[in-house]
């Protein structure tokens, strides 16, 4: 079976290469049959990648340890779902998943847009093929998932921390996000190569960009949830390079999703958009390079890996190609309209973009700083959470405020008086919330108080927008308030879906501010009967219990919890000891208070034994106010994205009219 897997990868590599060579020649010479065959080669590359993936999945299913990769990442006792998710538990499998998603998404994007962008598409296919060729090359020549060996009696197992439901979906979503950003990049490159850099490529790829961005955003949140529940240190984001690697392209894509609206509406920011889309793509590859190369200390990577140099070469190639393309087409990209006023919707988008890009660059700077300082000073210097947290406040708080102001400002220009009238009610709501919070004692953290107040402002602005729109539709004759509201959203899904996403960001901001600025932590040694009081909770350690499971032993501290005398139940915090992997993992206990969105978080930090029985236990207890709003934000974010992505027949007709083939502006 390994031979079949290897052959499928070689075939995928060959087909992807053909889509580059044949596609470029076909696009340049305008030979339709050659263009069509390059397109078909891309589809076939997806088929070949799928065959390779099926071979590997089957090897995991049958625990075929003659596959070295299967032996390294699974074991006989690995439970059912994880034996499949072990597919992406290591580097070679991750790259195969990457290739599979890339060729699949590329095929779908090309197939769906075959008629929409007849001039751009012939140049898009070779770009997609080039990215696919790179990943296929790595799998064929550098890190193969089909390396063979004499089958050992059992495999090494899967890292216990990866044996978690969130890890079944978090990595594929991140890959979907990373890889999905290739689609707008390839279409933008195709538009530049073909000389048709109007808004058609944006229209053609809008949904693909939103899909990738949503997948990346949800993937990041699921990773945070996994860290919160599985890693067991009580946090959810540690500014680790691997986490930042996903955050950077997401921030760049967020900026891009806003700025393309300005290009669509006002035909401005064309160079900026081309740069952003190329930047988002390069950042997704750069993040991979950082985490895979082992050059940066991260919780996820450590040892030097041979693929780092390959990624570095590919980033250099992609960045050079993008820069050269943009410079070559600069005359074509010049804006035909100018910013009329600094108080306008387009200006608000610009400010939003500057803040987002500045924050992206800050994170990039922080991640790359050890490499740069080592190159310049001969000593790697790292920046830690204080650096990132500082800039999160510097750029994040104004972004929250802009999120409220932006939608209220008119296109072209707004007078300061009109602006004042528009933001009056959100400002009143924000000040009222701020005053109430100070009275309640939230003034202990200035950034936390500002985050709450600005969030209230943004949320009030969103509610106001929905209220105004609904009232207008009711006045125009909608039979009920509900039909006015649903009609409002249905007729402008992109705009109101976007507002729902803004509401998600507000929830996220409140959750982050609450859990980080107003939390409490205690560590205590317990013997049976000992108690701890924290923020109104009383925890009593009862005893410790052991349980034997199929692939691990469990040790748990039983802790009775009351709040203001009211029993809340028993929490079980402790550790698992995995046999095959020879590792232990923290298994935290969390008591959710859904009404207050608060968690009581208990970590079984250390167990003390006397005569093979637990004599005492160290428990670390955290109270995390509002933390559950972060996870709620994920659902709201998804809802907003789904509203935005939901097919709209009227919009489709508008798009079809806009994407009718027109005159070519410049030809290569």
Number of Cα atoms under 13 Å in the Cβ half of residue 568? 20
Q: How far apart are the first and last CA of the chain?
A: 46
Nearer to other proteins, 123 or 391 (CB): 391
Candidate segments 205-213, 304-312, 326-334, 472-480, binder of other proteins by CB under 8 A: 304-312
Torsion of CA 652, 654, 656, 659, to 10 degrees: -130
Q: Does 94 bind other proteins (CB under 8 A)?
A: yes
DSSP string over 588-603: -EEEEETTTTEEEEEE
Q: In what order do the strands lie in the sheet with 531-534?
A: 531-534, 537-548, 552-563, 566-578, 583-587
Q: Does 340 bind other proteins (CB under 8 A)?
A: no
Q: Does 209 bind other proteins (CB under 8 A)?
A: no
From residue 504, alpha-carbon distances to 202, 455, 465, 517, 631 in Å are 25, 11, 16, 20, 10
Residues 49-68 that bind other proteins (CB under 8 A): none
Nearer to other proteins, 160 or 426 (CB): 160
Q: Does 361 bind other proteins (CB under 8 A)?
A: yes
Site string for other proteins, 593-632 (x = CB under 8 A): ----------x-xx-----------x-x------------
Residue 536 makes CB contacts below 8 A (sequence gap 6+) with 563, 564
Q: Does 301 bind other proteins (CB under 8 A)?
A: yes
Nearer to other proteins, 242 or 459 (CB): 242
Q: Does 646 bind other proteins (CB under 8 A)?
A: no
Spatial CA neighbour of 101 closest among 148, 45, 159, 35:
45
| Pair 347, 339: CB distance under 8 Å | yes
Residues 557-586 that bind other proteins (CB under 8 A): 583-586
Q: Does 243 bind other proteins (CB under 8 A)?
A: no
| Pair 561, 539: CB distance under 8 Å | yes
Site string for other proteins, 533-552 (x = CB under 8 A): --------------------
Spatial CA neighbour of 633 closest among 495, 490, 458:
458
Q: Does 169 bind other proteins (CB under 8 A)?
A: no
Spatial CA neighbour of 504 closest among 221, 307, 153:
221
Q: Which of 22, 26, 89, 126 binds other proteins (CB under 8 A)?
A: 89
Site string for other proteins, 125-164 (x = CB under 8 A): -------------------------------x-xx-xx--
Spatial CA neighbour of 278 closest among 188, 407, 191, 360:
188
Nearer to other proteins, 303 or 476 (CB): 303
Q: Does 381 bind other proteins (CB under 8 A)?
A: yes
Candidate segments 16-24, 176-184, 193-201, 231-239, binder of other proteins by CB under 8 A: 231-239
Q: Give the C-alpha separation, 412 to 339, whole Å.
A: 8
Q: Which of 214, 273, 362, 515 binds other proteins (CB under 8 A)?
A: 362
Q: Give the C-alpha separation, 299 to 162, whole Å.
A: 13
Q: Does 312 bind other proteins (CB under 8 A)?
A: no
Spatial CA neighbour of 287 closest among 275, 272, 303, 301:
301
Q: Where along the sequence are the contacts to other proteins (CB under 8 A)?
A: 72-73, 89-92, 94, 156, 158-159, 161-162, 231-233, 272, 291-292, 294, 297, 299-306, 350, 353-354, 357-358, 361-362, 365-366, 369-370, 373, 379-384, 386-387, 390-391, 523, 525, 583-586, 603, 605-606, 618, 620
């Amino acid at each position: 079976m390994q031979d079949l897997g290897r052959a499928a990868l070689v075939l995928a590599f060959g087909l992807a290469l053909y889509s580059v060579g044949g596609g470029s020649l076909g696009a340049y010479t305008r030979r339709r049959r050659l263009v069509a065959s390059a397109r078909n080669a891309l589809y076939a590359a997806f088929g070949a990648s799928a065959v390779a993936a099926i071979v590997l999945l089957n090897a995991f299913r049958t625990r075929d340890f003659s596959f070295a990769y299967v032996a390294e990442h699974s074991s006989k006792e690995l439970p059912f779902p994880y034996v499949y998710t072990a597919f992406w538990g290591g580097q070679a499998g991750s790259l195969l998943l990457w290739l599979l998603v890339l060729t699949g998404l590329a095929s779908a994007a090309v197939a769906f847009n075959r008629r929409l962008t007849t001039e751009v598409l012939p140049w898009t296919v070779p770009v997609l093929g080039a990215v696919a060729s790179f990943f296929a090359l790595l799998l064929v020549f550098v890190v193969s998932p089909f390396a063979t060996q004499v089958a050992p009696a059992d495999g090494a197992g899967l890292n216990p921390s990866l044996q978690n439901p969130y890890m079944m979906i978090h990595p594929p979503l991140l890959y979907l996000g990373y890889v999905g950003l290739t689609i707008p990049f390839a279409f933008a490159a195709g538009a530049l190569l073909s000389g048709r850099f109007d808004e058609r490529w944006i229209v053609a790829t809008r949904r693909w960009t939103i899909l990738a961005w949503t997948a990346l955003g949800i993937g990041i949140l699921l990773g945070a949830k996994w860290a919160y529940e599985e890693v067991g240190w009580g946090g959810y984001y540690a500014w680790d390079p691997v986490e930042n690697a996903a955050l950077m392209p997401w921030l760049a894509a967020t900026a891009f999703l806003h700025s393309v609206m300005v290009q669509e509406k006002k035909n401005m920011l064309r160079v900026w958009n081309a740069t952003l889309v190329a930047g988002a793509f390069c950042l997704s590859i750069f993040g991979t390079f950082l985490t895979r190369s082992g050059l940066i200390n991260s919780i996820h990577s450590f040892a030097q890996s041979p693929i780092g140099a390959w990624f570095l070469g590919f980033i250099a190639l992609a960045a050079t190609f993008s820069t050269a393309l943009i410079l070559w087409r600069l005359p074509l990209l010049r804006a035909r309209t100018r910013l009329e006023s600094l108080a306008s919707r387009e200006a608000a988008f610009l400010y939003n973009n500057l803040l987002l890009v500045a924050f992206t660059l800050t994170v990039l700077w922080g991640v790359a700083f050890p490499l740069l300082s080592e190159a310049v000073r001969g000593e790697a210097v790292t920046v830690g959470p204080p650096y990132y947290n500082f800039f999160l406040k510097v750029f994040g708080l104004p972004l929250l405020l802009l999120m409220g102001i932006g939608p209220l400002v008119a296109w072209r220009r707004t007078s300061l008086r009109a602006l004042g009238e528009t933001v009056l009610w959100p400002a009143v709501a924000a000040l009222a919330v701020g005053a109430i919070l100070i009275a309640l004692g939230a003034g202990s953290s200035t950034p936390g108080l500002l985050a709450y107040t600005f969030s209230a402002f943004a949320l009030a602005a969103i509610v106001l927008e929905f209220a105004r729109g609904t009232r207008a539709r009711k006045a125009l004759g909608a039979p009920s308030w509900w039909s006015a509201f649903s009609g409002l959203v249905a007729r402008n899904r992109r705009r109101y879906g976007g507002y729902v996403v803004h509401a998600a960001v507000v929830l996220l901001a409140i959750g982050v501010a609450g859990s980080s600025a107003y939390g409490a932590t205690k560590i205590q040694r317990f013997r049976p009967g000992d108690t701890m009081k924290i923020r109104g909770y009383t925890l009593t350690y009862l005893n410790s219990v052991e349980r034997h499971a199929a692939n691990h032993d469990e040790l748990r501290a039983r802790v009775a919890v009351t709040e203001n005398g009211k029993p809340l139940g028993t929490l079980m915090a402790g550790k698992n000891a995995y046999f095959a992997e020879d590792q232990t993992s923290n298994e935290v206990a969390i008591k959710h208070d859904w009404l207050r969105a608060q968690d009581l978080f208990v970590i079984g930090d250390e167990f003390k034994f006397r005569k093979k029985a637990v004599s005492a236990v160290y428990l670390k207890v955290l109270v995390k106010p509002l933390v559950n709003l972060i996870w709620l934000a994920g659902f709201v974010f998804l809802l907003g994205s789904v509203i935005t992505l939901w097919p709209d027949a009227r919009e489709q007709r508008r798009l079809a009219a806009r994407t009718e083939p027109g005159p070519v502006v410049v030809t290569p």
